[in-house]
Structure 1
Amino acid sequence: MKIFSNTINSLEQALNQSAIRQKVMSDNIANVDTPNYKAKDVSFSNILQKEIGNLQAYRTDERHFEFGSHSKENFKVFTKSPTSYQQNGNNVDIDQEMANMAKNQIQYNALVDRISSKFNSLKTVVKGGR
Protein backbone atom coordinates (compact mmCIF):
# COMPACT_ATOMS: atom_id res chain seq x y z
CA MET A 1 0.00 0.00 0.00
CA LYS A 2 1.34 3.37 -0.98
CA ILE A 3 0.91 5.99 1.75
CA PHE A 4 2.36 9.07 0.06
CA SER A 5 2.00 10.40 -3.45
CA ASN A 6 4.95 10.65 -5.79
CA THR A 7 5.12 14.40 -5.17
CA ILE A 8 7.74 14.15 -2.43
CA ASN A 9 9.83 11.78 -4.55
CA SER A 10 9.56 14.10 -7.55
CA LEU A 11 10.55 17.10 -5.45
CA GLU A 12 13.51 15.16 -4.07
CA GLN A 13 14.68 14.30 -7.58
CA ALA A 14 14.30 17.93 -8.67
CA LEU A 15 16.35 19.06 -5.64
CA ASN A 16 19.05 16.53 -6.53
CA GLN A 17 19.14 17.79 -10.12
CA SER A 18 19.42 21.37 -8.92
CA ALA A 19 22.29 20.42 -6.60
CA ILE A 20 24.11 18.69 -9.47
CA ARG A 21 23.68 21.79 -11.65
CA GLN A 22 25.01 23.95 -8.82
CA LYS A 23 28.12 21.79 -8.46
CA VAL A 24 28.86 21.87 -12.20
CA MET A 25 28.40 25.64 -12.38
CA SER A 26 30.57 26.11 -9.28
CA ASP A 27 33.30 24.05 -10.92
CA ASN A 28 33.08 26.22 -14.03
CA ILE A 29 33.30 29.43 -12.02
CA ALA A 30 36.19 28.10 -9.94
CA ASN A 31 38.10 27.35 -13.15
CA VAL A 32 37.34 30.63 -14.94
CA ASP A 33 41.07 31.47 -15.11
CA THR A 34 42.40 27.94 -15.64
CA PRO A 35 44.17 27.71 -19.00
CA ASN A 36 42.47 25.42 -21.55
CA TYR A 37 39.62 24.54 -19.15
CA LYS A 38 36.42 23.79 -21.02
CA ALA A 39 33.11 24.58 -19.31
CA LYS A 40 30.81 21.71 -18.44
CA ASP A 41 27.05 21.49 -18.40
CA VAL A 42 24.42 19.00 -17.25
CA SER A 43 21.83 17.41 -19.50
CA PHE A 44 18.69 15.83 -18.13
CA SER A 45 16.52 15.96 -21.28
CA ASN A 46 18.62 13.44 -23.24
CA ILE A 47 18.03 10.85 -20.55
CA LEU A 48 14.32 11.72 -20.50
CA GLN A 49 14.01 11.17 -24.24
CA LYS A 50 15.82 7.83 -23.91
CA GLU A 51 13.52 6.74 -21.09
CA ILE A 52 10.34 7.67 -22.94
CA GLY A 53 10.96 4.75 -25.27
CA ASN A 54 11.27 2.35 -22.30
CA LEU A 55 8.09 3.35 -20.45
CA GLN A 56 5.76 0.52 -19.47
CA ALA A 57 3.06 0.16 -16.84
CA TYR A 58 -0.28 -1.47 -16.13
CA ARG A 59 -3.03 0.70 -17.53
CA THR A 60 -6.70 0.41 -16.65
CA ASP A 61 -7.79 2.38 -19.72
CA GLU A 62 -6.23 2.65 -23.16
CA ARG A 63 -6.44 6.47 -22.90
CA HIS A 64 -3.99 6.49 -19.97
CA PHE A 65 -0.36 7.35 -20.54
CA GLU A 66 2.20 4.60 -20.20
CA PHE A 67 4.79 4.99 -17.45
CA GLY A 68 7.71 2.84 -16.46
CA SER A 69 10.75 2.44 -14.28
CA HIS A 70 13.22 5.23 -13.66
CA SER A 71 16.92 4.99 -14.30
CA LYS A 72 19.25 5.69 -11.36
CA GLU A 73 21.47 7.82 -13.61
CA ASN A 74 19.14 10.56 -14.79
CA PHE A 75 21.71 13.11 -15.94
CA LYS A 76 24.88 13.47 -17.96
CA VAL A 77 27.67 15.97 -17.43
CA PHE A 78 29.24 17.00 -20.72
CA THR A 79 31.90 19.42 -21.89
CA LYS A 80 30.62 22.40 -23.85
CA SER A 81 31.78 22.98 -27.41
CA PRO A 82 35.49 23.57 -27.98
CA THR A 83 35.19 27.36 -28.22
CA SER A 84 37.42 29.83 -26.42
CA TYR A 85 36.29 33.08 -24.82
CA GLN A 86 39.71 33.92 -23.42
CA GLN A 87 43.26 34.07 -24.76
CA ASN A 88 44.29 31.08 -22.60
CA GLY A 89 41.88 28.66 -24.33
CA ASN A 90 39.28 28.78 -21.54
CA ASN A 91 35.63 28.90 -22.63
CA VAL A 92 33.91 29.75 -19.33
CA ASP A 93 31.57 32.72 -19.78
CA ILE A 94 31.48 34.06 -16.22
CA ASP A 95 28.45 36.28 -16.85
CA GLN A 96 26.44 33.36 -18.25
CA GLU A 97 27.53 31.07 -15.41
CA MET A 98 26.55 33.62 -12.76
CA ALA A 99 23.15 34.18 -14.40
CA ASN A 100 22.56 30.42 -14.60
CA MET A 101 23.61 30.04 -10.98
CA ALA A 102 21.15 32.74 -9.86
CA LYS A 103 18.35 31.04 -11.83
CA ASN A 104 19.24 27.66 -10.35
CA GLN A 105 19.27 29.12 -6.83
CA ILE A 106 15.77 30.55 -7.30
CA GLN A 107 14.50 27.18 -8.54
CA TYR A 108 16.19 25.38 -5.65
CA ASN A 109 14.63 27.73 -3.09
CA ALA A 110 11.19 27.25 -4.66
CA LEU A 111 11.61 23.47 -4.48
CA VAL A 112 12.72 23.65 -0.84
CA ASP A 113 9.66 25.78 -0.01
CA ARG A 114 7.37 23.31 -1.77
CA ILE A 115 8.78 20.20 -0.09
CA SER A 116 8.71 22.01 3.27
CA SER A 117 5.03 22.76 2.67
CA LYS A 118 4.38 19.08 1.88
CA PHE A 119 6.05 17.99 5.12
CA ASN A 120 4.12 20.62 7.09
CA SER A 121 0.88 19.26 5.60
CA LEU A 122 1.85 15.73 6.63
CA LYS A 123 2.70 17.01 10.12
CA THR A 124 -0.72 18.63 10.40
CA VAL A 125 -2.40 15.39 9.35
CA VAL A 126 -0.38 13.34 11.86
CA LYS A 127 -1.27 15.79 14.66
CA GLY A 128 -4.94 15.54 13.75
CA GLY A 129 -5.30 19.09 12.45
CA ARG A 130 -3.97 20.81 15.55
Structure 2
Amino acid sequence: MSLFRMARQQMNWLGDRQTVLAQNIANADTPNYRAKDLKAVNFERELRDIQPVKMQATSGTHLQGTVRKPDHRVEELRPREVYETNPNDNGIALEEQMMKVSDTQMKYQLASNIYNKNMMMLRTAVGRSGQ
Protein backbone atom coordinates (compact mmCIF):
# COMPACT_ATOMS: atom_id res chain seq x y z
CA MET A 1 0.00 0.00 0.00
CA SER A 2 2.98 2.31 0.39
CA LEU A 3 3.36 2.31 -3.41
CA PHE A 4 -0.13 3.81 -3.69
CA ARG A 5 0.75 6.40 -1.06
CA MET A 6 3.94 7.37 -2.88
CA ALA A 7 2.21 7.57 -6.29
CA ARG A 8 -0.55 9.72 -4.78
CA GLN A 9 2.04 11.93 -3.05
CA GLN A 10 3.96 12.32 -6.33
CA MET A 11 0.76 13.23 -8.23
CA ASN A 12 -0.18 15.79 -5.56
CA TRP A 13 3.30 17.35 -5.71
CA LEU A 14 3.22 17.45 -9.51
CA GLY A 15 -0.24 19.06 -9.47
CA ASP A 16 1.03 21.75 -7.09
CA ARG A 17 4.13 22.26 -9.26
CA GLN A 18 1.92 22.70 -12.33
CA THR A 19 0.05 25.47 -10.49
CA VAL A 20 3.30 27.26 -9.60
CA LEU A 21 4.57 26.99 -13.18
CA ALA A 22 1.27 28.33 -14.50
CA GLN A 23 1.66 31.33 -12.17
CA ASN A 24 5.17 31.89 -13.55
CA ILE A 25 3.84 31.89 -17.11
CA ALA A 26 0.92 34.15 -16.18
CA ASN A 27 3.34 36.66 -14.64
CA ALA A 28 5.81 36.61 -17.54
CA ASP A 29 5.14 40.33 -18.18
CA THR A 30 4.94 41.41 -14.54
CA PRO A 31 7.80 43.77 -13.67
CA ASN A 32 10.36 42.39 -11.19
CA TYR A 33 8.57 39.02 -10.90
CA ARG A 34 10.90 36.08 -10.30
CA ALA A 35 10.14 32.52 -11.40
CA LYS A 36 9.32 30.07 -8.61
CA ASP A 37 9.42 26.31 -8.35
CA LEU A 38 8.61 23.76 -5.68
CA LYS A 39 11.27 21.98 -3.70
CA ALA A 40 11.43 18.40 -4.93
CA VAL A 41 10.18 15.60 -2.70
CA ASN A 42 13.00 13.40 -1.46
CA PHE A 43 11.78 10.03 -2.72
CA GLU A 44 15.06 8.35 -1.76
CA ARG A 45 14.16 8.99 1.89
CA GLU A 46 10.60 7.82 1.25
CA LEU A 47 11.87 4.58 -0.29
CA ARG A 48 14.06 3.86 2.72
CA ASP A 49 10.96 3.74 4.92
CA ILE A 50 9.28 1.02 2.82
CA GLN A 51 9.54 -2.47 4.21
CA PRO A 52 10.25 -5.10 1.50
CA VAL A 53 7.56 -7.66 0.79
CA LYS A 54 8.70 -11.21 1.48
CA MET A 55 7.62 -13.87 -0.98
CA GLN A 56 5.70 -16.80 0.46
CA ALA A 57 7.37 -20.14 -0.26
CA THR A 58 4.72 -22.83 -0.73
CA SER A 59 7.25 -25.54 -1.52
CA GLY A 60 10.65 -26.49 -0.13
CA THR A 61 12.08 -26.23 -3.65
CA HIS A 62 11.33 -22.50 -3.97
CA LEU A 63 14.31 -20.16 -3.90
CA GLN A 64 14.53 -17.09 -1.71
CA GLY A 65 15.10 -13.98 -3.81
CA THR A 66 17.62 -11.29 -3.03
CA VAL A 67 17.53 -7.59 -3.68
CA ARG A 68 20.75 -5.85 -4.65
CA LYS A 69 21.34 -2.21 -3.96
CA PRO A 70 22.42 -0.13 -6.94
CA ASP A 71 26.15 0.52 -7.26
CA HIS A 72 25.75 4.16 -8.25
CA ARG A 73 24.97 7.15 -6.10
CA VAL A 74 22.39 9.74 -6.95
CA GLU A 75 23.70 13.28 -7.01
CA GLU A 76 21.54 16.29 -6.46
CA LEU A 77 21.54 18.72 -9.34
CA ARG A 78 21.91 22.38 -8.55
CA PRO A 79 19.27 24.63 -10.07
CA ARG A 80 20.48 26.49 -13.13
CA GLU A 81 20.82 30.23 -12.77
CA VAL A 82 18.60 32.22 -15.11
CA TYR A 83 20.72 34.58 -17.18
CA GLU A 84 17.96 35.75 -19.43
CA THR A 85 15.83 38.73 -18.47
CA ASN A 86 13.12 40.40 -20.45
CA PRO A 87 12.36 44.14 -20.69
CA ASN A 88 10.27 43.98 -17.49
CA ASP A 89 13.43 42.94 -15.57
CA ASN A 90 12.05 39.61 -14.46
CA GLY A 91 13.77 36.26 -14.74
CA ILE A 92 11.06 34.29 -16.53
CA ALA A 93 12.11 32.53 -19.72
CA LEU A 94 8.88 31.23 -21.25
CA GLU A 95 10.67 28.43 -23.13
CA GLU A 96 12.16 27.15 -19.88
CA GLN A 97 8.81 27.32 -18.08
CA MET A 98 7.07 25.47 -20.92
CA MET A 99 9.72 22.72 -20.80
CA LYS A 100 9.13 22.37 -17.06
CA VAL A 101 5.36 22.19 -17.65
CA SER A 102 5.86 19.45 -20.25
CA ASP A 103 8.21 17.52 -17.94
CA THR A 104 5.73 17.81 -15.08
CA GLN A 105 2.92 16.56 -17.31
CA MET A 106 4.93 13.51 -18.40
CA LYS A 107 5.88 12.67 -14.81
CA TYR A 108 2.25 13.03 -13.71
CA GLN A 109 1.15 10.66 -16.48
CA LEU A 110 3.81 8.15 -15.40
CA ALA A 111 2.75 8.28 -11.74
CA SER A 112 -0.90 7.94 -12.78
CA ASN A 113 -0.11 4.91 -14.95
CA ILE A 114 1.84 3.27 -12.12
CA TYR A 115 -1.06 3.87 -9.75
CA ASN A 116 -3.62 2.48 -12.23
CA LYS A 117 -1.56 -0.60 -13.16
CA ASN A 118 -1.04 -1.49 -9.51
CA MET A 119 -4.75 -1.00 -8.85
CA MET A 120 -5.51 -3.38 -11.73
CA MET A 121 -3.09 -5.98 -10.29
CA LEU A 122 -4.71 -5.64 -6.88
CA ARG A 123 -8.18 -6.13 -8.38
CA THR A 124 -6.95 -9.17 -10.32
CA ALA A 125 -5.49 -10.63 -7.12
CA VAL A 126 -8.84 -10.38 -5.35
CA GLY A 127 -10.71 -11.76 -8.39
CA ARG A 128 -12.40 -8.56 -9.60
CA SER A 129 -10.44 -7.93 -12.80
CA GLY A 130 -13.52 -6.93 -14.87
CA GLN A 131 -14.56 -4.03 -12.63
Query: Which structure's residues are more often strand, by fraction?
Result: 1
Q: How many matched pairs?
A: 101
Residue of structure 1 equivalent to 2:94: 94
Cα separation, 2, equivalents of 1:26 and 1:111: 20
Residue of structure 1 equivalent to 2:37: 41
Q: 1:129 to 1:19 in 2, by over 3 A?
A: closer
Cα separation, 2, equivalents of 1:118 and 1:38: 39
Residue of structure 2 equivalent to 1:111: 111
Amino acid at match of 2:17: R
Asked if structure 1 preserves the Cα contact closer than 8 Å seen for 2:24 and 2:36, the reply is yes
Residue of structure 2 equivalent to 1:19: 15
Give unpaired runs (5+ residues) of structure 1.
57-79
Could you tell me the percent identity over the aligned residues?
26
Give unpaired runs (5+ residues) of structure 2.
50-79
Q: 1:42 to 1:122 in 2, by over 3 A?
A: same
Q: 1:128 to 1:37 in 2, by over 3 A?
A: closer
Amino acid at match of 1:33: D
Amino acid at match of 2:40: F
Asked if structure 2 preserves the Cα contact closer than 8 Å seen for 1:38 and 1:82, the reply is no
TM value normalised by structure 1: 0.64
Q: How does 1:69-84 map to 2 (within 5 A)?
A: none
Amino acid at match of 1:110: L
Q: 1:90 to 1:127 in 2, by over 3 A?
A: same
Q: 1:124 to 1:92 in 2, by over 3 A?
A: same
Q: 1:120 to 1:86 in 2, by over 3 A?
A: same
Amino acid at match of 1:100: K
Tell me how far 1:83 sits from its aligned partner: 6.8
TM value normalised by structure 2: 0.63
Looking at both structures, which has the greater relative contact order when contacts are Cα pairs under 8 Å and sequence separation is at least 6? 2
Runs of 4+ in structure 1 over 6 Å off: 80-84
Residue of structure 1 equivalent to 2:76: none
